[in-house]
Amino acid sequence: MPKSDRNPLVHGSNLEQKENHRTKYRDVDSKKYLSEIRTEYDKWHSANLELVGPTSTPTAQDDAIIATRVELLSKYKDFLDQQHYAEKFDSRSNLHSSVLEEFLYYLFKDLVRDFGENALIGKSHTFKDIFFVPPKYSEMLKRPYARIEKKDHDFVIGATIQVSFEAATPPEKDENPGEMLSLLKEEPENYSEVTVTGNTETHIYFRYSSCCY
């Protein structure tokens, strides 16, 4: 299963937390409703796992598989949106909103799996910005003191990026500045050039994004 920062079955996890909560949802109605929801959730979950696709290789069955997943979602969501459930578990509980997050996992899980075990899918955080905050200027000449700002997303399809920084000689003073690579024409103009020396890639300024919401 592709990796993610958290359990991709966010709706099922939300339901389980309510079932096992030590103080909340202990009344008769809550237990009854949670038991009813659990029965329908397990059916929805199992039906989605039995379906395979779409994958990275298009097939004639892809449209039918997607349609079936949407039908399963609509049926389960109609059940969960009944008034007595909506009143018992309001928006603050995230029970209803987490259904869509888990549906997106079912929709893309087989596609993402084809790209390898390190593909990331589900709840996660992504790169937002980077700052350099040395205690004083002289220290920045020794190491960058980088701080990377992250942003949480309910659903992400992406990859984990590991980046190393070090204080370096300014390019105009470096005897071996490396090869300056031009941007590919189809790339946005606001991407920076990248300097490659051997196996080392240095981005003067970088920003990446992933499929997320």
CA distance 189 to 32: 58
Tokens found for residue 190: 């606001």
pLDDT tens, position by position, 25-76: 999 999 999 999 999 999 999 999 999 999 999 999 999 999 999 999 999 9
Determine contact, residues 127/167, Cβ cutoff 8 Å.
no
Q: Is there a single domain that holds both residue 104 and residue 190?
A: no
Q: Is there a single domain that holds both residue 14 and residue 98?
A: yes
The most confident of 111-115, 118-122, 195-199, by mean pLDDT: 111-115
Q: Is there a single domain that holds both residue 110 and residue 189?
A: no
The number of angstroms, rounded, from the C-alpha of 166 to the middle of its chain's C-alpha atoms is 29
pLDDT at 186: 46
Greater confidence, 115 or 195? 115
pLDDT at 184: 46
Is residue 98 over pLDDT 90? Answer: yes
Is residue 210 over pLDDT 60? Answer: no
Q: How many domains does the chain have?
A: 2
Q: Return the exposure string of 51-76: e unless at least 16 CB atoms fall within 10 Å of the residue's CB, then b.
A: bebbeeeeeeeeeebeebbeebbeeb
Q: At which of 100, 119, 138 does a domain end?
A: 119
Determine contact, residues 121/157, Cβ cutoff 8 Å.
yes
- Mean pLDDT value across residues 94-118: 94
- Mean pLDDT value across residues 85-102: 95
Does any domain span residue 155? no
The whole domain housing 70 covers 10-119
pLDDT at 188: 44
Q: Is there a single domain that holds both residue 112 and residue 172?
A: no
Is residue 14 over pLDDT 80? Answer: yes
CA distance 90 to 95: 8
Give 18's pLDDT tier (boundaries 50, 70, 90).
Answer: very high
Q: Is there a single domain that holds both residue 115 and residue 172?
A: no
Q: At which of 84, 119, 154 does a domain end?
A: 119
Q: At which of 91, 119, 147 does a domain end?
A: 119
Q: Is there a single domain that holds both residue 172 and residue 108?
A: no
Does any domain span residue 150? no
pLDDT tens, position by position, 148-204: 888 888 888 888 877 778 887 776 666 666 666 554 444 444 444 556 566 555 554
